[in-house]
Amino acid sequence: MENNSTSPQERLRVESAFKIFGGDPEPAFKLIQEGKKKDEIYKQTGLTIGVHDASFEVYAGEIFVIMGLSGSGKSTLVRLLNRLIEPTSGKITLEGQDITQLDTKGLVDIRRKYMSMVFQSFALMPHLTVLQNAAFGLEVMGVAEKKRNERAMDALKQVGLDHVARSYPKSLSGGMQQRVGLARGLSVDPDIMLMDEAFSALDPLIRTEMQDELLKLQEGSTRTVIFISHDLDEAMRIGDRIAIMESGRIVQIGAPEEIMRNPADEYVKAFFRGVDPTNVYKAGDIATKTQVTFPLHKAGLRAVRQRLNEFDREHAYVLRKDKQFVGVVSLAKIQATLEDETINSQDISPAFLEGIEPVHEEATLQEILPKLTSYECPVPIVNSENIYMGTISRHLFLKTLSREANIEETKTEETS
Amino acid sequence: MIDIFKYTIPLDDWIAVAVEWLVGNFRPQFQAIKMPIEVMLNAIDDALLWLPEEIVLLAFLIIGWKTAGWKVGLFSIVSMAFIGFTGLWDETMTTLAMVISAVVVCVLIGVPLGILSSRSDRFEAVLRPVLDAMQTTPAFVYLVPVVMLFSIGTVAGVIATIIFSMPPIIRLTNLGIRQVHPELIEATYSFGATKRQVLWKVQIPLALATIMAGLNQTIMLSLSMVVIASLIGAGGLGVPVFEGLNSLKVGLAGIGGLGIVLMAMVLDRITQAMGTKEEQE
């Protein structure tokens, strides 16, 4: 596999995978070519299309969420990846190997070395202790007991459960049980961890906690997570990219904001009803560079005043040569400073507004809200190097909200 | 009216011919089947009778205590001692040897058959009527062919017992394995387990409580059969019962019967505790 330093490393590639349930798939393929829908095909042939022409790639280190309503084929799709369900046709390439062509031995090898899975129902072994459960994948691999217990213990430490290693799963709460499931998935050190609605059976608080836990575990890791979910909030929270499935097809793949901004069809739009956009959009997503900026080394009070008058603006954003953010000056403050004749008009520092702190581009709109209401100027946005990325004004913020509201309105109009 | 049953199927003759053909042509093979059972039975019987009674009683106390708690241990030693005091110690030991031999064979054959039928619906469908027949055919019916094929005696009695008491362990092994949650099987496969690993690491351990329940039933059935087996010359606690029946010695039949009941209760409590113990873990 090519390892290109600029683009992320590809882990898994799925090319037009199909799964057709219920006997000889040929008649269904014929009808698919005629462009028939899933329901029609079922009526005519009794064959159910589980997955319809799914193609996507997954990269090292990312969390790829496959989202869809129940019956959309997402659980089937994820099982095609480790062939718990045999794909009817298509190609699934892992580490340059087409796993659909593997014999039983090769498949067992792939499952042991490259993949692990976490289940909605936890699927812990009731006859084994927490430690033995966490070590289960290693036991199947044939790792010696001492070694596998060490690795399982490390995995339990990662999920904060080393203190209950000797208990049985039955005595643990749901959240703790799924941590054991997570530890079992982690202990084999997989390239790809498949998570099938892994947090769906947990109550909302624990669920958020587990999502944070997963994000923390993924930090700086090259492990790929393929996460199945029916919950948009969850997908938005943890997904680097999301694939949305509808009746067996993948209808859209993209980053969360991308899908939210340009939903491919009504089905995708429907998902976003009820989602609070202030939790989804990051500051950097909506910041604009429409404000007046001024380089610090040229900033004299009069020069800035002239520029502001020219553009009919109240505030100027002062930046260093390398575009690092320094501060904001306002027309009123410049005016006041100029009236004080003891001050050198080439020194702009007395004109800076006090208490203006830039916001990081990764902050959610929710987090900007307090600054947006208290600052007299639009909120400056910077990246991790303190480079100025633009500003967010109250007007822009409201516009963002209302655009999301428009999507909802058009949807309700159509349905009513 | 026409008598539709004027012409009858000579099924009885056919069965007779079939069995006689088996006896005529395969008696040596059937006698060979007897061999290992006979060796095992005699070894166990000799050992139980050779051991001092105190040691055997102590063994019951310890086994009962370790598997099911001190109450069952105490109950076991008291019951067995009581049987001894009624003068039927040797018969009891022979019955115990018969039950142990029969159950060992039942487990050796029944558990693999149960595993097979849990893995193949077709095999299960074929096996089911056979098991029904084995369980419902009155015991006296197959005593006749058993005698013809294996002659009379304690070993023949054990063979009849094996046939009669094997179905539960097959059925419950099958059931236990099929009851293992499919999610667990799927999870096991997802970690790259082979079929054999799934069987030994997940299916058998999780089915164990159910298999033990089958073992318990098999033991109970074999205890009820060893009495009937005395009809074909098998030794043990059936003998005083049979004698009592023949000569209307109600006291003799009574103590024989009581011995069987007490032994059944002891073995039942112990094996049941084994099953639930597995479950608790």
Average pLDDT of chain B is 90
pLDDT score for A412: 44
Q: Would you place residue A414 in the very low, low, confident or very high pLDDT band (cuts 50, 70, 90)?
A: very low
Closest-CA residue of chain B to A107: B192
Q: Is A322 left (phi over 0), alpha (psi -120 to 50) or beta?
A: alpha
Compute CA distances A114 → A94, A107, A193, whole Å: 9, 10, 8
Residue B217 to chain A, least CA–CA distance (Å): 24
Kindly identify which residue of chain B lies nearest to residue A80, measuring between CA atoms. B190
Distance CA A324, CA B150 (A): 100
- What pLDDT is stored for residue A3 in this prediction? 44
**Tens digit of each residue's pLDDT (9 = 90 or more) over B197-222:** 999 999 999 999 999 999 999 999 99
- What ipTM is given for this predicted complex? 0.77
The pLDDT, as a whole number, for residue A415 is 41
Inter-chain contact B192–A121, Cβ cutoff 8 Å? no
Q: What is the pLDDT of residue A7?
A: 61
For chain A, say whether B183 makes contact (Cβ under 8 Å).
yes
Q: Does B189 touch chain A (CB under 8 A)?
A: yes
Q: Where are the domains of chain A?
A: 10-278, 284-398
pLDDT at A22 over 50: yes
Residues of A in contact with B192 (CB under 8 A): 108-113, 137, 140-141
Residue in the block written with tokens 């520092």: A349
Residue A399: what pLDDT? 77
Residue contact A123–B187, C-beta within 8 A: yes
pLDDT tens track for A154-175: 999 988 899 999 999 999 998 8
Indicate the residue of A121, A126, A140 with minimum beta-carbon distance to B191.
A140
- Mean pLDDT across chain A: 86
How far, in Å, CA of B18 to CA of B92, rounded?
A: 37
- Average pLDDT rounded to a whole number, residues B98-109: 94
Nearest C-alpha in B relative to A188: B191
Q: Which of A94, A116, A128, A107 is nearest to A17 (CA)?
A: A94
pLDDT of residue A150: 94
Whether residues A117 and B194 touch (CB distance < 8 A) is answered with no
How many Cα neighbours within 13 Å face the side chain of A367?
14
Tokens 């074929």 appear where?
B126
Whether residue A405 is predicted with pLDDT greater than 70 in this model: the reply is: no
A97 by DSSP, 3-state: which? strand
Cβ contacts of B281 on chain A, cutoff 8 Å: 127, 168
Q: Averaged over A59-70, what is the pLDDT?
A: 90
Q: What percent of chain B has pLDDT over 70?
A: 98
List Cα–Cα distances, B107 to A177, B162, B271, in angstroms.
36, 10, 14
Q: What is A284-398's CATH number?
A: 3.10.580.10
pLDDT tens column, A112-121: 999 999 999 9
Confidence check: pLDDT of A406 > 70: no
Given the DSSP bridges, would you call strands A192-196 and A10-21 parallel, antiparallel or unpaired? unpaired
Of A112, A121, A123, the CB nearest to B192: A112
pLDDT band at A280 (very low <50, low <70, confident <90, very high): low
What pLDDT band is residue A33 in, cutting at 50, 70 and 90?
A: confident
Provide, as residue numbers in chain A, all residues whose Cβ is less than 8 Å from the Cβ of B187.
Answer: 117, 119, 123
Interface residue of B179, B180, B183, B190 to substitute, partner A, most A CBs within 10 Å: B190
Check CB contact under 8 Å for A127 and B205.
yes
pLDDT digits (tens, 9 = 90+) for A298-323: 878 888 888 888 888 888 899 888 88
**pLDDT above 50 (res B240):** yes
More confident position, B52 or A416: B52
CB contact under 8 A, B206 and A126: yes
Above 90 in pLDDT, residue A140? Answer: yes
Highest CATH level, class, for B30-45+92-143+152-280: mainly alpha
**pLDDT of amino acid A411:** 44
- Average pLDDT on A100-126 reads 92
Regarding predicted confidence, which is higher, A183 or A5? A183
Residue in B192, B202, B281 nearest the CB of A111: B192
Looking at residue A403, its pLDDT comes to 60
CATH class held by domain A10-278? alpha beta
Residues of chain A with a CB closer than 8 angstroms to some CB in chain B: 82, 84, 108-113, 115-117, 119, 121, 123, 125-127, 136-137, 139-141, 168, 184, 188, 194
Split at pLDDT 50, 70, 90, the class of B106 is: very high
What φ, ψ does residue A319 adopt, rounded to 5°?
Answer: -125, 155
